[in-house]
Amino acid sequence: MLRKFRSWFDRTTPDELQFEPRTITVRNKEYLLRRMTEADVDAALAIERRIYHDTPWDRYAFFSELRKVRHSLYLAVEDAGQMVALIGTWFTMSEAHVTNIAVDPAYQHMGLGRFLMQFMIGRAIEYGSEKVTLEVRTNNDIAKRLYHSLGFQDGKVKKGYYVSNHDDALDMYRPLP
């Protein structure tokens, strides 16, 4: 097993997780999709506060994740120079784990969340992942519907998973071809 991990670890180089900014079109509207940077942390925290009214992630968590460029990819969506959505994913030997996805409330229901999830599922397939996983608040029915529509299945419930308010989380996973 260790040999298999080392083999995977050695093939996953920073070059493989590089990302070039690009213009995307979602529902006939153009946005900039680019790699998230440390300069985006305040905007990311503001989006999370507008969504959750608390911040599941703190500044340190974002900085820590953004520095793991060899095995993670954090992307930001911009509209007119303002960050309006983000997604972060860890890539391990056999799975891609979506650590964070957030769309500013003013931009929800416009297809950005679906686009970002489909984009990361595509990356997971490219990197040879066997499945994509994530956690979602058990009371977040809108997000669960999105994930189910993308082929995710329900896993176990993690009681009190979200520290800030002790909400439960549902593990979800999607096997990949």
Taken as a whole, the chain contains a residue count of 177
| Side chain identity, residue 164 | S
Q: Which is the catalytic residue, given 48, 135, 161, 173?
A: 135
Active site residue 135: yes
Q: Is 147 a catalytic residue?
A: yes
State the alpha helices, DSSP H only, in 103-149. 112-126, 141-149
Active-site entry in 147, 161, 162, 173: 147
**CA distance linking residue 120 with residue 90, whole number of Å:** 10
Query: How many CB atoms within 10 Å of residue 141?
Result: 10
Cα dihedral 71, 104, 140, 123 sign: negative
- In what helix (H) or strand (E) does residue 135 lie, and over which residues does it extend? strand 131-137
CA distance 130 to 149: 19
Residues acting as catalytic residues: 135, 147
